[in-house]
Every structure is written in C-alpha cells, then in structure tokens.
C-alpha cells in the first residue's frame, strides 16, 4: 500500500509523526508493507513558495492508495487559503462524499456526561462531505460598508443526498445495526431539507430491517446529550455533521480522541483526526495523538486490513485503561511518549 502523508501545520505534524510510527510498528508485527511519501503542503510551504497545492496535486493524491493528513490551519494565513485548497479541495476534487466519524467512548472516566459509559456512547456519524454550505457559492456586495450584503448558499443535490444516506444504511446493514437517524432543519430550511426528507424516506424503504428515525438538528444535539445510547448511525449534512461531531468528540474525552475518514468507497480516500492544528499547543509535545492514530486505524480498516486496524484500536484502548496517555485525558505523558505507549501495547 502506498500512503501519502501530509503532516500540515501545528500539532498536525506531531500527531502525524506518532501515527506513522504506529503504522511502521504494524508492518513490523504483521509483516506487511506500507510505503510512505511525505508531502510538504502546509502553511510554511505556502508562505515560502506561494503554492497551496501544486497544479498536479490532486492527480498526485489519486495515485496513492490512501492519504493521511495531520491538520491544517495557521494564524499566519488568516484566510486559511492553503487549508481550503489542500483539505476542502481534496474532498471536492477526489469526490470524498462520505465523512465517517465514529463516536466511541473508550473509558467511562473520559465522558463528561453523568453516569454514561462505553455502552451508551458508541455510534457512527456520516456527514455529507462534498456539498451543503461548504461549496463556497455566494458573495459579498459592498463589503466593508454598512450596506454590506453577504450571501452563502447551501447546495443540496439529489445525487449527493442520496449517496450519503444510502451509505449510512449500507453501513448499518453490513454491521447488523437496526437504527439510522437523519438530522436536518426541514422545518426552517424548507427547500433544501425537504429534499433530505424525501430521499431519506425513499432510501429507508429499501432497508425494511432498519428503523429510520428523524430529529431536527437542534433536537438531535439535545438528545445526544440526554440519551446518546439511542443512536447507532446518524446521517446529516456537511455543516451539521461538522458541529455535532465536535460535540460527539467531547463525549469521547475531547477533540484529541476523535478520528475521521473522508471516503469515496473504492477510491483513494483521506484520513485525519477531527481536531485542527491547535496553534497554542504546537511544538510543545502535549497534543494527544490518539485521534490521529485512530484515524490511521480507520484508514487500514477501509483498505481492508481489518486485523491490523483492530490491533491498533486494542492498543489504544489498553493505553487509555492504563492511563499511559496525555494530560488532556488525565495522563502525564507527552505526545511522543503516548505514541510510544501505543506502539509498545501493539507489540504486546
């Protein structure tokens, strides 16, 4: 397998280093081969060269089996142009329409919800990843004046809504799950989200063994806190999925714990921790590498290396149980040491 590595900015570099070390340990333990190519695309690279992503950049990414990204975002690039081209651009250009974000609590002590344990917090969020409010359609008129008008339009297509909802049902079916919940705001966003309503009912009718439920997104946020155990699979649009998975990450112990995949089934896909570049932590060896390492596990699972992926997840779980972890989740280790603990657990 050939993997492109984009460490990116801030703590992205530190957590990526740990994820790559863990992947090398997987090779050692399982005797399989992964080849890594590190790409320098980042804020530093942009500031030095003026290039966010080279002209052939997306084609280059397509030539790999998978892409791993640390995080992108730097205060020296206030408009985040490089992150938009590298991350959002790749999502759009490689048509990575599934944003898969598992919300899985590993240890009760990490959950801020009173009395909730791993059995209550274990669901998958599927966020539509190529449409919605993130397409950048809109504009500003009379910008910077008191007459300014700013328009940002949300794009919903039948194809886009259909394929993410179908993916959520297929995921549930493949795992023997019985519930899929769709969240929208169709009571207020009566055009775009009427499409979500229609397609959800249409797709659900093809999965009689799965119970379809629906919440408006505001109610979903409330029920995630009050009764997370009712959820198995949640499917929603780009913006709402972005927001509720940060909420989900807090159930897991914080942003440092959450993993994600940007997937087009059967094609080159991109894996990254949910968190950003956390500039205040950059270079301090304090960032939690678990979100990145769990994203590497998700990458292997998606590539069909299920045994290797499960071994990484088991190693992460063991270090969490043993409290061989970073400070944000109650340990005392640095980023590199927490990564080393996971590698040691992986080698048994």
Ligand X SMILES: NC(=O)c1ccc[n+]([C@@H]2O[C@H](COP(=O)([O-])OP(=O)(O)OC[C@H]3O[C@@H](n4cnc5c(N)ncnc54)[C@H](O)[C@@H]3O)[C@@H](O)[C@H]2O)c1
Binding status of residue 287 toward ligand X by CB under 6 A: yes
Beta pairing, strands 122-128 & 98-104: antiparallel
Among 17, 39, 72, 168, binds ligand X (CB under 6 A): 72
DSSP state of 281: G
Binding status of residue 124 toward ligand X by CB under 6 A: no
The two tokens of residue 233 are 């699979």
Distance CA 175, CA 169 (A): 10
Which residues, numbered 7-46, are part of the site for ligand X (CB under 6 A)? 11, 15
Closest contact distance (angstroms) between CB of 121 and ligand X is 19
Among 99, 275, 319, 346, binds ligand X (CB under 6 A): 275
* Of 266, 317, 323, 268, the residue nearest 294 (C-alpha): 317
Binding status of residue 276 toward ligand X by CB under 6 A: yes
Nearer to ligand X, 160 or 276 (CB): 276
R_g (Cα) of the chain, nearest Å? 20
Q: What does 133-160 look like in DSSP terms, one character per residue? A: GGG--EEEESTTSTT-EEEEPPB--HHH
Binding status of residue 132 toward ligand X by CB under 6 A: no
Q: Is the dihedral of CA 291, 293, 296, 298 positive or negative?
A: negative
- Residue 79 backbone class (left: φ over 0; alpha: ψ -120 to 50; beta: rest): alpha
Binding status of residue 87 toward ligand X by CB under 6 A: yes
**Cα three-residue angle 300-304-90, rounded to 5 degrees:** 60
Nearer to ligand X, 286 or 300 (CB): 286
Distance CA 315, CA 322 (A): 11
* Residue range at the interface with ligand X (CB under 6 A); choices 26-34, 144-152, 283-291, 336-344: 283-291
The two tokens of residue 343 are 């590698």
Nearer to ligand X, 81 or 321 (CB): 81
Binding status of residue 242 toward ligand X by CB under 6 A: no
Nearer to ligand X, 120 or 272 (CB): 272
Binding status of residue 80 toward ligand X by CB under 6 A: yes
Nearer to ligand X, 102 or 279 (CB): 279
Nearer to ligand X, 154 or 242 (CB): 242
* Residue range at the interface with ligand X (CB under 6 A); choices 188-196, 217-225, 232-240, 273-281: 273-281
**Cα three-residue angle 171-175-177, rounded to 5 degrees:** 90
SS3 of 307, please? helix
Binding status of residue 78 toward ligand X by CB under 6 A: no
SS3 of 211, please? strand
Binding status of residue 191 toward ligand X by CB under 6 A: no
Nearer to ligand X, 15 or 311 (CB): 15
* Residue range at the interface with ligand X (CB under 6 A); choices 60-68, 275-283, 299-307, 308-316: 275-283
Among 248, 253, 291, 331, binds ligand X (CB under 6 A): 291
The two tokens of residue 34 are 């992964």
DSSP state of 113: S
Among 125, 255, 316, 338, binds ligand X (CB under 6 A): 255
**Residue ranges binding ligand X (CB under 6 A):** 11, 15, 71-73, 80, 83, 87, 254-256, 272, 275-280, 287-288, 291, 328
């Amino acid at each position: 397998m050939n993997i492109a590595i984009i460490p990116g900015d801030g703590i992205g570099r530190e957590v990526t280093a740990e994820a790559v070390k863990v992947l090398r340990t997987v090779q050692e333990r399982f005797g399989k081969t992964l080849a890594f190519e590190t790409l320098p695309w980042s804020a530093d690279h942009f500031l030095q060269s003026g290039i966010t992503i080279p002209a052939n950049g997306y084609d280059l990414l397509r030539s790999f089996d998978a892409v791993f990204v640390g995080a992108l975002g730097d205060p020296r690039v206030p408009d985040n142009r490089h992150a938009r081209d590298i991350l959002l651009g790749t999502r759009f250009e490689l048509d990575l329409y599934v944003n898969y974000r598992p919300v899985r609590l590993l240890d009760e002590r990490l959950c801020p919800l009173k009395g909730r344990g791993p059995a209550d917090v274990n669901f998958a969020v599927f966020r539509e990843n190529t449409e919605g409010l993130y397409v950048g359609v809109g504009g500003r008129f009379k910008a910077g004046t008191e007459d300014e008008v700013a328009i940002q339009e949300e794009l919903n297509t039948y194809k886009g809504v259909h394929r993410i909802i179908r993916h959520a049902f297929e995921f549930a079916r493949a795992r023997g799950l019985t519930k899929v919940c769709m969240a929208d705001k169709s009571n207020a966003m009566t055009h775009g989200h009427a499409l979500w309503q229609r397609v959800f009912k249409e797709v659900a009718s093809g999965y009689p063994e799965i119970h379809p439920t629906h919440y408006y997104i505001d109610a979903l946020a409330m029920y995630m806190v009050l009764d997370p155990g009712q959820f198995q699979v949640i499917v929603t649009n780009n913006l709402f999925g972005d927001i509720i998975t940060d909420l989900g990450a807090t159930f897991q112990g914080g942003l440092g714990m959450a993993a994600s995949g940007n997937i087009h089934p059967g094609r080159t896909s991109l894996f990254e921790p949910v968190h950003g570049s956390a500039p205040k932590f950059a270079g301090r060896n304090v960032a939690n590498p678990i979100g990145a390492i769990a994203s590497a596990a998700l990458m292997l699972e998606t590539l069909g290396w299920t045994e290797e992926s499960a071994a990484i997840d088991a190693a992460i779980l063991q270090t969490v149980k043993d409290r061989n972890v970073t400070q944000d989740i109650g340990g005392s280790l640095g980023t590199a040491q927490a990564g080393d603990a996971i590698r040691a657990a992986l080698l048994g």
